[in-house]
Amino acid sequence: MRIHGDQDLGAPMAPMSINWVGLGTMIRRELSRLMRVPTQAFVAPWISALMFIFVFGFVVGSRIKLIEGQRYISFVLPGILMMNVVNAAFLQSSSQIYFQRFLRYIEEALVAPFSYVEMIVGLLAMTVVRCVITAIGILIIGTAFGATSISGLPEFIFWIVLVSTIFGFLGVIVGLWANNFEQLTMPVIFFITPLSFVGGVFNTVHMLPEWLRWIAWANPFFYFINGVRHSMIGFTEAPEWLGASITVGLATLLAAVVWQLFSRGYGLRE
Partner 1 sequence: MTAPAVSISHLRKVYRRGTVAVDDLSMTIAPGDFFGFLGPNGAGKSTTIHCITGIARPTSGKIEIFGIDAVKDYREARRLVGLSPQEFNVDTFAKVTQIIDWMGGYFGLRAPERKARVEMLIDRFELRPHAKKQFRELSGGLKRRVILARALVHDPKLLILDEPTAGVDVELRRDLWRYLQELNRDGKTILLTSHYLEEVERLCRTISIINGGRIVREGPKAEFLASGDLEAAYLAATGAEPDHISGAA
Give dist(CA 246, CA 179) in Å, integer: 31
Which of the ranges 3-11, 154-162, 176-184, 194-202 carries the binding residues for partner 1, by CB under 8 A? 3-11
Q: Is 1 in the site for partner 1 (CB under 8 A)?
A: yes
Q: How many residues bind partner 1 (CB under 8 A)?
A: 39
In the complex, least distance from residue 259 CB atom to partner 1, rounded to whole angstroms? 16
Among 44, 108, 117, 237, binds partner 1 (CB under 8 A): 108
Question: Judged by CB under 8 A, does residue 146 bind partner 1?
Answer: no
Nearer to partner 1, 179 or 193 (CB): 179
C-beta closer to partner 1: residue 169 or 262: 262
DSSP 62-129: GGS--BTTB-HHHHHHHHHHHHHHHHHHHHHHHHHHHHHHHSSTHHHHHTSS--HHHHHHHHHHHHHH
Binder of partner 1 out of 43, 55, 104, 242 (CB under 8 A):
104
CB of 4 to partner 1, least distance (A): 6
With contact defined as beta carbons under 8 Å apart, do 123 and 93 qualify?
A: yes
| Cα–Cα distance measured from residue 37 to residue 55, given in angstroms and rounded to the nearest whole number | 27
Which position among 59, 63, 111, 209 is part of the footprint of partner 1 (CB under 8 A)?
111
| 203 near partner 1 (CB under 8 A) | no
The answer for residues whose C-beta is within 8 angstroms of residue 22's C-beta and 6 or more apart is 112, 113, 114, 118, 122
Q: Are 230 and 87 a contacting pair, CB within 8 Å?
A: no
Does residue 109 belong to the site contacting partner 1 (CB under 8 A)? yes
Rounded to whole angstroms, the Cα distance separating 58 from 211 reads 33
**Min CB(75)–partner 1 separation in Å:** 42
Distance in angstroms (rounded) separating the CA atoms of residues 88 and 94: 10
Distance CA 173, CA 67 (A): 38
Instruction: Give the residue with the Cβ less far from partner 1, 213 or 269.
Output: 269
- By CB atoms closer than 10 A (0-12, 13-18, 19+), residue 103 is exposed
- Give min distance, CB of 249 to partner 1, in A: 31
Q: Is 39 in the site for partner 1 (CB under 8 A)?
A: no
> Which residues are at the interface with partner 1 (CB under 8 A)?
1-5, 7, 9-10, 12-13, 15, 19-22, 24-26, 28-29, 32-33, 36, 103-115, 265, 269-270
